[in-house]
């Protein structure tokens, strides 16, 4: 295999220059990959609950405790859904993770749902303006969460066009406040 087929050029979010990295190997068969959810939350109770709910609905749920772990996991796994809390310990909050994911050409089209205790309209509008596809407020009930996850996973690419329209509208609302 030619060397360039084993590597890909990546522009770091922290540095403008291109770097070459080994392409990650997909650790799971295609049929399972389409059901992977990544949750990023520093609250172990929320992670445990979402994992139980997701697994009982047939999804593989993988967790990341912070933004750095999240970005690495997204690149390796290529999930069908990313679920983020807004407030997290560490350098990145959920809004910053969402922003960075949307800028990444490899995982930027991944559906994103915020799962958070933050209830203000401004938080929801900011999440949508940054590219989130859903804003789910804690506490949540299992059947509703499964339904919303199922919708986001099943829609995949269909969300891209709707997301672009919602982002533009939400950015207008955020900037007008």
Residue 106 confidence (pLDDT): 84
Sign of CA dihedral 104, 105, 107, 109: positive
Q: Is residue 4 part of a domain?
A: no
Nearest C-alpha neighbor of 99 from the set 86, 88, 81 = 86
Model confidence pLDDT, tens digit, residues 14-54: 334 433 434 334 333 344 345 899 999 988 999 999 999 99
- Inside any domain, residue 85: yes
Let me know if residue 17 belongs to a domain.
Answer: no
Is 3 among the domain residues? no
Q: What domain count does the chain have?
A: 1
Do 167 and 127 contact (CB within 8 A), yes or no?
no
pLDDT at 50: 94
CATH number at residue 112: 3.40.50.2300
Confirm whether 65 is domain-assigned. yes
Residue 103 inside a domain? The answer is yes
Neighbours of 158 (CB within 10 A): 10
Residue 167 lies in a domain: yes
Place of tokens 């401004």: 122
CA distance 110 to 52: 22
For 77, the token pair is: 């796994």
pTM of full prediction above 0.85: no
Domain residues for 145? 32-176
Rounded to the nearest angstrom, the gap between the alpha carbon of residue 53 and the centroid of all alpha carbons in its chain is 18
Length, in residues, of the chain: 177
What pLDDT sits at residue 157? Answer: 67
Low-confidence ranges of the chain (pLDDT < 70): 1-34, 157, 177
14 lies in a domain? no
Report which of 69, 70, 93 is spatially closest to residue 82, judged by C-alpha positions: 70
Tell me if 113 sits within 8 A of 133, measured CB to CB.
yes
> What does pLDDT average to over the chain?
79
């Amino acid at each position: 295999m030619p060397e360039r087929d084993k590597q890909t050029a990546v522009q770091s979010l922290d540095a403008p220059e291109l770097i070459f990295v080994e392409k990650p190997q997909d650790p799971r068969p295609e049929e399972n990959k389409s059901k992977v959810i990544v949750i990023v939350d520093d609250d172990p109770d929320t992670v445990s609950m979402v994992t139980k709910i997701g697994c009982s609905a047939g999804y593989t749920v993988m967790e990341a405790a912070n933004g750095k772990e999240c970005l690495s996991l997204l690149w390796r796994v290529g999930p069908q859904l990313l679920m983020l809390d807004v407030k997290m310990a560490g350098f990145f909050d959920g809004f910053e993770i969402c922003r960075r994911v949307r800028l990444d050409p490899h995982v930027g089209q991944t559906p994103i749902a915020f799962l958070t205790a933050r209830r203000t309209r401004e938080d929801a509008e900011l999440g949508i303006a940054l590219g989130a596809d859903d804003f789910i407020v804690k506490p949540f009930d299992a059947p509703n969460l499964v339904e919303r996850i199922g919708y986001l996973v099943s829609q995949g690419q269909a969300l891209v066009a709707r997301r672009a329209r919602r982002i533009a509208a939400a950015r207008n609302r955020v900037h007008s406040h």
